[in-house]
Structure 1
Amino acid sequence: YSRSAGLRTFPIVAMSTCGYMLIGMEVLDTTDAEARVMYGIITGMGFIGGGAILKSDKGRDVSGTATAAALWGTGAVGLAVAWGRFEIALLLAALTFCTLQFIYPIKERLRGDEDERG
């Protein structure tokens, strides 16, 4: 269960959410309708992320939660770009990248310390 979403998946998620939001902003007449499109995208991203979460046969080990959260966050990057909020998109992308890159080794080191203790 150690596979996460591939390198191609994340840009596709960002482009798709951005595209859907841009289409909604262009076609729909009211900001209320645009908000419903955004809510639908957020809900859909949660559903897609849920598909990335796997549970072992015994139900004790759960994996894919970071991938699910990263996919959901990547959808937010796409929405921020669609709204022209590039500073938010860059911040979210950088924080997501740093979290995935640098927190995992810390987590593994802490897990190793727990295993040594007992």
Structure 2
Amino acid sequence: MTQSDRNMDQLQIALEEALKSDNFNVWPHIIALAAAYILALPIGWHREREERSAGLRTFPLVAVASCGFIQATEGITSESPEALARIVEGVITGMGFIGGGAILRLSSSVKGTATAASLWSTGAIGIACAVNAFDVAIIIMVFALLTLIFFSNGKSDTQDISAHGTQ
């Protein structure tokens, strides 16, 4: 038997033990991930309907991934709030990169800022769901959606900027 075979056997035994364990309960994870997905859908639907750069696929994926990153690290962060804070900081930084990709500078205008902010909000929804703050997740979704609906007034996602690079 090779080392690779022994490693696979050990992995199989470990998985079987984990699945038999009273500590293994997948339902809280499924509920949090499903909540993140469902709460992101209205925002994604709105952005899709407005024909923005991100829509029905992107927003739920951001929410679910944000939730998943936090959930995946529960075992190593359960004893350390500082470790959880660092994981959340990393997720927020990653969302910043995604949001930055949604923003385009076109000569004297910037396009995509509302989409970027919406992506950031959707990531926050995922994080809130991961820590079972479903009330916070719902409030974020409602405020984000209301802002997108009621403050667009036919405004495009493009903002004029001055020569100094500010609005």
Superposition TM-score, scaled by structure 2 size: 0.59
Distance 1:36 1:84 in 2: 18
Over 6 Å off, 4+ runs = none
Question: Is 2:158 aligned against 1:99?
Answer: no
Select which of 54, 72, 76 maps to 2:104. Answer: 54
Equivalences for residues 1-118 of structure 1 within 5 A = 3-28=52-77, 29-56=79-106, 59-105=107-153, 107=155
* Contiguous gaps of at least 5 residues in structure 2: 1-50, 157-167
Shift of 1:27: 3.3
- Higher relative contact order, chain-length normalized (CA < 8 Å, sep 6+): 1
Residue 115 of structure 1 corresponds to none
* Farther off after superposition, 97-106 or 12-21: 97-106
Shift of 1:38: 0.4
The residue type paired with residue 49 of structure 1 is G
Residue 46 of structure 2 corresponds to none
Superposition TM-score, scaled by structure 1 size: 0.82
The one-character-per-residue Cα deviations of 1:63-96 (angstroms, maximum 9, x if unpaired) are 1000000000100000000111011000000111
Report how many residues are paired: 105
Conserved 8 A contact 2:52-2:115: no
- Tell me which structure has the larger Cα radius of gyration: 2
Shift of 1:3: 3.0
Distance 1:101 1:64 in 2: 16
* Contiguous gaps of at least 5 residues in structure 1: 109-118
RMSD (Å) for aligned C-alpha atoms: 1.6
